[in-house]
Structure 1
Amino acid sequence: MLDMDIPTSSFLEPCNNCAFRPGSPEQADTEEWKKTITSLKAGGQFFCHKGVPIDVKNANGFAYPKDGKDPRKMRICRGYLNMWGAMMEKRMEAERT
């Protein structure tokens, strides 16, 4: 998922303020974080905040794809990709045993 020639390619490492890092503010509301993870497991995507255009008119300050923006122009979050990869590894390991 890294191509230096593509500006929306995922970073090599999660950002220092990634929502997926332990103790992040996004994970403080456990119920809301569980909803987010459930949505991601159902096929949702999680975009890096550094790759989402700013939209001062939006309540959260960003123009996420759900707001009508093209997701192909946004960077997928490295923390999300790492979490997804670990989840797939666990699933594959469970299927082998």
Structure 2
Amino acid sequence: MARVHIELGSTVKRGGPTEDLPLLRSAPRVAATLNSAANSTTAELQAQAGEVWTVSATGGAVFVAFGADADAGVPERRIVLDGQARDFAATAGEKIAVKDA
């Protein structure tokens, strides 16, 4: 079982030397922390257009999946390793599910 912290937020473009760089805004719009389990658990968060998921795990690796009916037990999932934080582009209306890896 891992502790999973999930944030949803938007990005802002900052001028780089050759092109604009998208950066996460300093505060997320919403966030939640939950414990993963052997079965897929869906967080009570829903993405809006143009947002980014930031997912971090401590205490173990987790699988994450996104969609209207998110299920982290399906093959179309991503892994977040213990101690890692990963960003994923969100689609409006999707949710996130997590489960032990």
Please identify which structure carries the higher strand content. Answer: 2
* TM-score, length basis structure 1: 0.24
Q: Mark the structure with the bigger radius of gyration.
A: 1
Please identify which structure carries the higher helix content. Answer: 1
* TM-score, length basis structure 2: 0.23
